[in-house]
């Protein structure tokens, strides 16, 4: 899933300086699961903001509404009437970096601010602990690396590792960070598949240097949205 972390409170408070009627929009999917931006987090943040602004003698009218997914028009639509009738002078989004952009695009006349920092695609290691596993590079090499991503898990993103800095199974940057290529070696060795990494991975053409559009086979851009 996509994981995110709430921004420091002071940063959120500063962004909303000068705005007095705000709708905080939560997202019920990824950021809700990773405890950053679901219904509960919207309520907590709103309470904190109300208190802080009241103490500063600058009260704010902040409301909350959490939709299923901010990255999907179908769910965003339910905000139309709320926003139309609410007279908000700003929107706060607790969705990931994708969701907030769809929200901002739908209501372009209202300033929209992020309440979370999106950090990536991660697995749920334990409650509240998420570990990044994919950089969505658009050219998956996991088949030859034993299901361990060197782009994400190697601090240098090496395609031909491990480098000389691998340190008793850890990365040179920290003993807490496992060396991806050490793990790749161990796993492939256990599968008797070391040949998979004996051949050189040649320089790759990076496919994530421009915005990517993805259209599944058999589908096309709706005519009204195509240029």
Residues that bind another protein (CB under 8 A): 155-169, 171-173, 179, 182, 185-186, 189, 194, 198, 200-203, 206
Furthest-apart CA atoms within the chain: distance in Å: 68
Beta strand pairing call for 112-114 and 174-178: unpaired
Beta-strand runs (E) in 72-164: 90-93, 112-114, 116-126, 129-134
Residues 109, 113, 119: CA angle, nearest 5 degrees: 135
Report, in Å, the least distance between residue 192 CB and another protein.
13
Q: In this complex, which beta carbon is closest to another protein, that of residue 77 or of residue 173?
A: 173
Q: In this complex, which beta carbon is closest to another protein, that of residue 61 or of residue 172?
A: 172
Report, in Å, the least distance between residue 107 CB and another protein.
33
Q: In this complex, which beta carbon is closest to another protein, that of residue 192 or of residue 223?
A: 192
Report, in Å, the least distance between residue 171 CB and another protein.
8
Distances (CA, A) of 161 to 15, 146, 184, 191, 223: 43, 13, 9, 18, 46
Distances (CA, A) of 3 to 94, 112, 118, 127: 11, 20, 6, 13
Report, in Å, the least distance between residue 214 CB and another protein.
24
3-class secondary-structure state, position 210: coil
Six token digits for residue 93: 């989004």
Q: In this complex, which beta carbon is closest to another protein, that of residue 13 or of residue 156?
A: 156
Q: In this complex, which beta carbon is closest to another protein, that of residue 111 or of residue 178?
A: 178
Q: d(Cα 132, Cα 59) in Å, to the nearest integer?
A: 39
Q: In this complex, which beta carbon is closest to another protein, that of residue 20 or of residue 119?
A: 119
Report, in Å, the least distance between residue 179 CB and another protein.
8
Report, in Å, the least distance between residue 131 CB and another protein.
18
């Amino acid at each position: 899933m996509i994981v995110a972390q709430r921004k420091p409170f002071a940063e959120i408070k500063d962004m909303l300086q000068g705005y007095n009627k705000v709708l905080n929009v939560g997202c019920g999917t990824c950021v809700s699961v990773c405890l950053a931006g679901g219904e509960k987090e919207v309520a907590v943040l709103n309470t904190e903001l109300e208190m802080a602004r009241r103490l500063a003698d600058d009260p704010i009218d902040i409301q909350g509404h959490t939709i299923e997914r901010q990255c999907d028009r179908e769910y965003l639509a339910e905000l139309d009437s709320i926003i139309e009738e609410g007279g908000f002078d700003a929107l706060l989004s607790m969705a990931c970096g994708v969701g907030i952009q769809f929200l901002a695009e739908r209501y372009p006349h209202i300033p929209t601010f992020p309440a979370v920092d999106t950090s990536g695609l991660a697995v749920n290691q334990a409650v509240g602990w998420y570990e990044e596993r994919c950089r969505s590079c658009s050219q998956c090499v996991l088949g030859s690396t034993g299901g361990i991503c060197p782009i994400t898990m190697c601090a240098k993103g090496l395609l031909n590792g491990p480098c000389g800095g691998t340190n008793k199974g850890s990365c040179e940057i920290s003993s807490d960070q496992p060396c991806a290529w050490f793990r790749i070696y161990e796993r492939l060795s256990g599968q008797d598949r070391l040949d998979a990494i004996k051949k050189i991975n040649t320089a790759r053409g990076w496919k994530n240097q421009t915005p990517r559009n993805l259209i599944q086979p058999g589908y096309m851009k709706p005519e009204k949205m195509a240029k």
